[in-house]
């Protein structure tokens, strides 16, 4: 078994330290487990992955090289180059860690793929949460309407804590020391995701037994002092191949028999076999690097690189990024992604930032989620989502406690306490009115825009806000 620790991969972006801790730690623990099981393992540091493979082939002269289908276009291109450069055949097997194959998206969901149809097809094929007649348990395929509750009026969700690794784990500490000189987004210091199959199964069991019931209703809510809420923290081990997604989904579905609420169970299953596989399919469905429907060319806001911010919601999300390389999916989409959408951040710059920021980041995860979903930049042709996830400060006020005690007022679009999200939201609608006007799902928002008699002042405020975001003064 060959495993390469690529210096180029480790240093190509200013990754959160906890991403390096998780990935290197998972590799080294896996290598040790394979050796205990009788495998011969070459865990090889090298300047690049290609250099590591070529050096291994020169040292060991294998009869062939077998590789799982890479999870990125660049990885697939690298395998192609290696196949041409190596004197032995390279055999590409099925992808590891997915239920569908690259190219399955349109076969399952048609030429204009939509999540709802795709999810039904995958769930039906797997026999998950189906009644005796093959219909959905509970009479509906989605309980999303039940899973959008705002947070309770208290600082913590008050659910049992998630599974977490030993904070004094010696291998984690060693990797932090080893990689300390590399550029990093934040100080790190807290690994929160499993790095072995045993740890991952413990995290899954802890979630299903103690935390699943609250996951559904509050999966879109945010609390400043509760970074984990009731989320599973399983994305990292899933993306590293430490947990099989089918087993995770089946275990979630089985929790229904133990009394877990159907809305929470369905919401979790949808995340695993629906949205995750949908994103994987969309990654291979189109190129992403140059997609820029809105012609955005602005920088990543300085607060996301570590500059101080008075936006309490951004500060809470960035505290998680800097300490853990983690913020849950609504913080990513409706705070960090929404801010970059409204400010006009260039899509690929935003994607590279998300790659650097999160422990569970991968090319296949971030390109569709950032370019296609958060920034609504994929074009031409049918997009990944039917409308932009643009929202003013009112959304954050409704779905979090962040606005209490914030320097900004989400109800104000102008003046010294104008919320950056609110002024930027109305300016976003005005800037892209022609394009958005062709979208029936944006009709209500545009009617509300037309009712504003202070639009010139709002747009001036937004221009000043964009300057402040770029400079680090917001």
List, run by run, the mean pLDDT of 10-residue segments along the chain (474 residues).
97 97 98 98 98 96 96 96 95 96 93 94 97 96 96 96 98 98 97 98 98 97 98 98 98 97 98 97 95 97 97 98 98 98 98 98 96 93 91 98 98 98 98 96 97 98 98 94
Q: What is the mean pLDDT of the chain?
A: 97
- Cis amide bond preceding 380, omega within 30: yes
Residue 290, in any domain of the structure: no
According to the model, what pLDDT value does residue 382 have? 81
Does 64 share its domain with 17? yes
Does 81 share its domain with 123? no
Residue 198, in any domain of the structure: no
Please report, for the domain that includes residue 127, its CATH number: 1.25.40.80
Residue 378, in any domain of the structure: yes
Does 24 share its domain with 114? no
Domain that holds residue 465: 302-471
Facing residues of 136 across strands? 130
Does 215 share its domain with 320? no
Last residue of a domain, one of 74, 93, 112: 93
Q: Rounded distance, CA 313 to CA 320, Å?
A: 11
Does 119 share its domain with 259? yes
Q: Rounded distance, CA 433 to CA 2, Å?
A: 53
Does 351 share its domain with 461? yes
Residue 202, in any domain of the structure: no
Give pLDDT tens digits for 307-339. 999 999 999 999 999 999 999 999 999 999 999
Residue 192, in any domain of the structure: no
Exposure b/e, 337-369, CB count within 10 A at least 16 = b = bbbbbbbbbbbbebbbbbbbbbbbbbbbbbbbb
Does 146 share its domain with 28? no
Last residue of a domain, one of 57, 72, 93: 93
According to the model, what pLDDT value does residue 381 have? 75
Does 7 share its domain with 109? no
The domain total for the chain is 3
Please report, for the domain that includes residue 311, its CATH number: 1.10.579.10
- Reported as type and span, the H/E element at residue 45 is strand 42-46
In the numeric block, which tokens belong to residue 132?
């005796």
Does 42 share its domain with 62? yes
Residue 77, in any domain of the structure: yes
Does 50 share its domain with 129? no
Does 448 share its domain with 337? yes
According to the model, what pLDDT value does residue 344 have? 98
Please report, for the domain that includes residue 15, its CATH number: 3.40.50.620
Distance of CA 328 to the CA centre of its chain: 8
Residue 263, in any domain of the structure: yes
Does 355 share its domain with 397? yes
Residue 174, in any domain of the structure: no
Q: Rounded distance, CA 135 to CA 140, Å?
A: 8
Give pLDDT tens digits for 200-251. 999 999 999 999 999 999 999 999 999 999 999 999 999 999 999 999 999 9
| CB 406 within 8 Å of CB 315 | no
Last residue of a domain, one of 64, 93, 122: 93
Q: Rounded distance, CA 237 to CA 240, Å?
A: 5
């Amino acid at each position: 078994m060959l495993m390469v620790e690529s210096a180029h991969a480790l240093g190509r972006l200013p990754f959160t330290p906890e991403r390096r801790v998780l990935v290197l730690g998972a590799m080294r623990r896996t290598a040790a487990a394979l050796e205990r099981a009788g495998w011969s393992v070459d865990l090889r540091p090298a300047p690049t992955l290609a250099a590591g493979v070529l050096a291994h082939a020169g040292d060991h002269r294998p009869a062939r090289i077998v590789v799982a289908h890479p999870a990125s276009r660049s990885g697939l291109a690298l395998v192609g180059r290696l196949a041409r450069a190596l004197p032995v055949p390279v055999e590409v097997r099925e992808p590891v860690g997915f239920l569908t194959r690259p190219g399955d998206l349109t076969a399952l969901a048609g030429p204009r793929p939509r999540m709802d149809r795709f999810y039904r097809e995958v769930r039906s094929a797997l026999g998950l949460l189906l009644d005796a007649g093959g219909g959905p348990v509970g009479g509906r395929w989605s309980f999303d309407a039940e899973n959008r509750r705002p947070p309770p009026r208290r600082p913590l969700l008050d659910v049992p804590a998630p599974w977490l690794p030993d904070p004094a784990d010696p291998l984690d500490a060693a990797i932090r020391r080893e990689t300390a000189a590399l550029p990093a987004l934040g100080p790190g210091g807290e690994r929160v995701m499993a790095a072995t199959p045993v740890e991952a199964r413990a995290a899954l069991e802890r979630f299903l037994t103690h935390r699943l019931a609250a996951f559904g209703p509050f999966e879109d809510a945010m609390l400043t002092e509760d970074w984990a809420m009731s989320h599973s923290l399983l994305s990292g081990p899933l993306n590293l191949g430490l947990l099989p997604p089918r087993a995770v989904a089946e275990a979630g579905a089985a929790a229904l028999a133990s009394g877990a609420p159907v809305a929470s169970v369905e919401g979790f299953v949808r995340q695993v076999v629906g949205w995750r596989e949908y994103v994987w399919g969309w990654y291979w469905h189109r190129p992403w690097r140059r997609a820029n429907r809105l012609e955005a060319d602005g920088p990543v806001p300085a607060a996301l690189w570590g500059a101080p911010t008075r936006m309490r919601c951004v500060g809470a999300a960035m505290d998680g990024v800097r300490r853990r390389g983690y913020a849950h999916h609504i913080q990513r989409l409706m705070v960090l992604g929404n801010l970059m959408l409204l400010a006009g951040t260039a899509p690929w710059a935003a994607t590279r930032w998300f790659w650097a920021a999160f422990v569970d980041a991968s090319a296949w995860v971030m390109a569709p989620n950032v370019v296609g979903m958060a920034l609504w930049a994929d074009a031409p042709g049918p997009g990944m989502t039917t409308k932009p996830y643009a929202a003013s400060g009112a959304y954050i006020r409704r779905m979090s406690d962040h606005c209490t005690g914030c320097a900004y007022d989400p109800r104000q679009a102008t003046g010294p306490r104008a919320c950056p999200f609110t002024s930027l939201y109305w300016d976003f609608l005005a800037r892209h009115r022609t394009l958005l006007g062709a979208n029936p799902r944006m009709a209500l928002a545009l009617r509300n825009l037309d009712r504003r008699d202070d639009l010139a002042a709002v747009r001036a405020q937004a221009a000043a806000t964009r300057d402040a975001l770029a400079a680090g003064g917001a």
